[in-house]
């Protein structure tokens, strides 16, 4: 169904000049990133660097849309063609990201960008167009209510982080520091241990991981805006997290832990408390705990850490697909696949992950 057939046309405004749309190129990246960083809804994943890493490491094709008025950039829709397991591809903003969607100087600009993306999906006979929006922009697309994000302001002093945590979580974090002597340190040299822990967790959850080269590419592309922290118990590394710095935010994005670390010494309770303390010390203003499914243990854990969920406003336009993707842990039909993956030897799981991960963006 074309956008016109759906009965939707963007709201017109007599005060606005119609924006001119075109595909983005690498020559636009500087202006595009400046626009993203200045926009209230811009995120780390709207930046050109995220697109570059996904293109290079996952083989996705860029299809960014830009809007101009009288030569001035007034809108950005980061967009990529994600391959399917056979031939069907989808347009996603953005793959392997929790945030995306259109940015515009006005609702009309954002709507024009989305209309152009819908038309591109129709022309290319894509499976779907998927926009991972944070806010509801009034787009007439199918909603997805599966995910929420967890973001809160940081206190002014590191010692005040503990007071933000509910009583039980606060007690666990304090015990981890005082009884188990856990410490948090930061450094790029922890990359190998981080990737190992990340894959251990993904296998336990029954899901493919991401290749070592992907994480290294993020570090190389974004420099000091990518940080790796490690939790040690004595000399033993027990948990790790990769975070992204964007504006005044710290986004805790990828993580892992050794088997039994949470049960034995509350490693995750400690890690995220200490990570927030570190962020305060760096002068950052907000802590972004990232996305979780509503029915997941991660969702519950974040609530127990004192974070309030904010529903994410993901939107879909279906072309060849007929419904939302179902290859998620929320679907009971995937249980056999997840159980099989969880029993797989680690070397095999990591090898297969390199081939399968590009189809699970």
**Of 275, 207, 204, nearest to 245 (Cα)?**
275
Query: 326: exposed, middle or buried (C-beta count within 10 Å: 0-12, 13-18, 19+)?
Result: exposed
- Three-state SS at 170: helix
**Within this chain, domains 20-140 and 149-310 share the same CATH topology:** yes
Which residue ranges make up each domain of the chain? 20-140, 149-310
Q: What is the pLDDT along the chain (361 residues), one digit of tens a residue?
A: 444 444 444 444 445 789 999 999 999 999 999 999 999 999 999 999 999 999 999 999 999 999 999 999 999 999 999 987 655 689 999 999 999 999 999 999 999 999 999 999 999 999 999 999 999 888 889 999 899 999 999 999 999 999 999 999 999 999 999 999 999 999 999 999 999 999 988 878 777 889 999 999 999 999 999 999 999 999 999 999 999 999 999 999 999 999 999 999 999 999 999 999 999 999 999 999 999 999 889 999 999 999 999 999 999 999 988 877 665 655 666 666 666 656 667 676 666 666 766 777 7
**Omega before 94 cis (within 30°)?**
yes
Q: Residue 38 phi/psi, 5° resolution?
A: -85, -15
**Of 117, 139, 57, 124, nearest to 87 (Cα)?**
124
- Using CA of residue 317, residue 320, residue 326, residue 327, what is the dihedral sign? negative
**Token pair for 191:** 């990359």
Q: Tokens 């793959």 sit at which residue?
A: 95
Enter the pTM of the model.
0.90
Which of 3.40.1190.20, 3.40.630.30, 2.60.40.420, 3.30.390.50 is the CATH number of 20-140?
3.40.630.30
**Token pair for 319:** 């072309």
Is 149-310 in CATH node 3.40.630.30?
A: yes
What is the 8-class DSSP label of residue 344? S
Cα–Cα distance, 128 to 334 (Å, whole number): 21
């Amino acid at each position: 169904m074309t956008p016109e057939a759906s009965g939707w046309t963007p709201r017109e405004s007599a005060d606005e000049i119609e924006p001119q749309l075109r595909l983005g190129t690498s020559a636009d990246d500087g202006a595009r990133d400046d626009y993203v960083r200045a926009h209230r809804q811009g995120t780390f994943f709207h930046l050109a660097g995220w697109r570059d890493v996904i293109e290079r490491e996952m083989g996705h094709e860029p299809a960014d849309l830009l809007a101009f008025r009288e030569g001035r950039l007034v809108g950005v829709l980061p967009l990529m063609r994600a391959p399917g397991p056979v031939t069907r591809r989808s347009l996603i903003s953005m793959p392997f990201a929790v945030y995306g969607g259109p940015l515009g100087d006005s609702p009309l600009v954002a709507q024009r960008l989305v209309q152009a993306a819908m038309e591109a999906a129709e022309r290319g006979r894509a499976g779907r167009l998927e926009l991972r929006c944070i806010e509801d922009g009034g787009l007439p697309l199918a909603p997805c209510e599966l995910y929420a994000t967890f973001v809160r302001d940081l206190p002014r002093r590191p010692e005040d982080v503990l007071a933000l945590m509910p009583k039980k979580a606060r007690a666990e974090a304090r015990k981890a520091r005082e009884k188990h002597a856990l410490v948090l340190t930061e450094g790029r040299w922890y990359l190998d241990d981080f990737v190992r822990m990340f894959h251990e967790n993904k296998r336990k959850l029954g899901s493919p991981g991401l290749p070592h080269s992907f994480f290294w590419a993020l570090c190389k592309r974004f420099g000091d805006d990518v940080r790796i922290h490690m939790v040690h118990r004595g000399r033993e590394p027990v948990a790790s997290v990769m975070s992204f710095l964007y504006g005044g935010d710290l986004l805790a994005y990828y993580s892992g832990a050794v088997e039994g670390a949470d049960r034995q010494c509350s490693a995750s309770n400690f890690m995220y408390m200490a990570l927030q303390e570190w962020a305060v010390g760096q002068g950052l203003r907000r802590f972004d705990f990232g996305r979780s499914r509503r029915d997941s243990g991660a969702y519950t854990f974040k609530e127990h850490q004192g974070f309030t969920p904010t529903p994410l406003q993901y939107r879909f336009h279906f072309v060849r697909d007929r419904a939302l993707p179902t290859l998620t842990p929320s679907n009971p039909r995937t249980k056999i696949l997840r159980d099989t993956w969880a029993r797989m030897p680690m070397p095999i799981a990591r090898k297969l992950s390199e081939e399968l991960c590009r189809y699970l963006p």
